[in-house]
Amino acid sequence: DLSGSITTPDVKLNLGGEFIKESTATTFLRQRGYGWLLEVEDDDPEDNKPLLEELDIDLKDIYYKIRCVLMPMPSLGFNRQVVRDNPDFWGPLAVVLFFSMISLYGQFKVVSWIITIWIFGSLTIFLLARVLGGEVAYGQVLGVIGYSLLPLIVIAPVLVVVGSFEVVSTLIKLFGVFWAAYSAASLLVGEEFKTKKPLLIYPIFLLYIYFLSLYTGV
């Protein structure tokens, strides 16, 4: 009669000086060339980024730029040049979309028209600035023009309240346009334009007048 027991042999794998105990199944797979089934990929830190960071959205930066546009007075101490020198896309796009919502009262089909005006209006200002000798990039103009729509958004609820008073409504509209145009022009019209400033300020002013006219629909 034969009696006894068979114990599973311990197989150790040497990885960088450290011995790791492997089971018989693991050893069997490695010997048959199927060790790749046991491999575990390391997590890539690039894949674990938050969504806002993945989309390059900085909410604090956007909030600061909004304050710079709404309060363009130099005495307030804001570094307003950050709106021009560090342009972004998502902040101006959000402002333009919000402007579209409140000005057209839910006519979603014309939102694309307002975005088109923003893109090609900014392109016109950019080309004119370059012709006049200004050193500005299209992305900078796009961001400044988009952010500077904020004053028109601010006066929107006021126009709803005083809409029946034509004189007061007209004055508020003019104030909003001047506010928006001044905020944009003070960032885009630098010292390099010298005596040519009116040639760039005027089309900026006209662009915001057109944006204001969209309150009544397209």
Does 86 map to a domain? yes
DSSP state of 129: H
How far apart are the C-alpha atoms of 191 and 110, rounded to whole Å?
37
| CB neighbour list of residue 119: distance below 8 Å, 6 or more residues apart | 142
What pLDDT shows up at residue 48?
Answer: 58
DSSP letter string, 59-75 = HHHHHHHHHHHH---GG
Structural domains in the chain (count): 1
The pTM (predicted TM-score) of the whole model is: 0.68
- C-alpha distances in angstroms, 153 versus 100, 120, 149, 161, 200? 9, 20, 7, 14, 23
Cβ proximity of 187 and 81 under 8 Å: yes
Q: Residue 97: which domain range?
A: 58-216
pLDDT in 10s for each residue of the chain, 218 residues: 556 555 545 444 444 444 445 567 667 666 766 565 566 555 555 555 666 666 667 788 888 888 888 887 777 777 777 888 777 888 888 888 888 877 766 566 677 788 888 899 999 999 988 888 778 888 889 989 998 898 888 888 887 787 677 888 888 889 989 989 988 888 888 776 667 778 888 899 999 998 888 765 54
Q: Name the one residue in this structure whose structure tokens are 């311990």.
A: 10
What pLDDT shows up at residue 19?
Answer: 44
Does 187 map to a domain? yes
Q: How many angstroms from the chain centroid is the CA of residue 211?
A: 20
Does 172 map to a domain? yes
Cβ proximity of 123 and 177 under 8 Å: no
pLDDT digits (tens, 9 = 90+) for 11-40: 444 444 444 455 676 676 667 665 655 665
How far apart are the C-alpha atoms of 145 and 125, rounded to whole Å?
9
Return the SS3 of 80.
coil
Does 142 map to a domain? yes
Does 5 map to a domain? no
- The mean pLDDT of the chain is 75
Does 185 map to a domain? yes
DSSP state of 215: G
Does 199 map to a domain? yes
What pLDDT shows up at residue 20?
Answer: 47
Does 28 map to a domain? no
Task: From 202, 141, 214, 143, select the one nearest 173 (Cα to Cα).
Answer: 214
Q: Name the one residue in this structure whose structure tokens are 């089909």.
A: 109
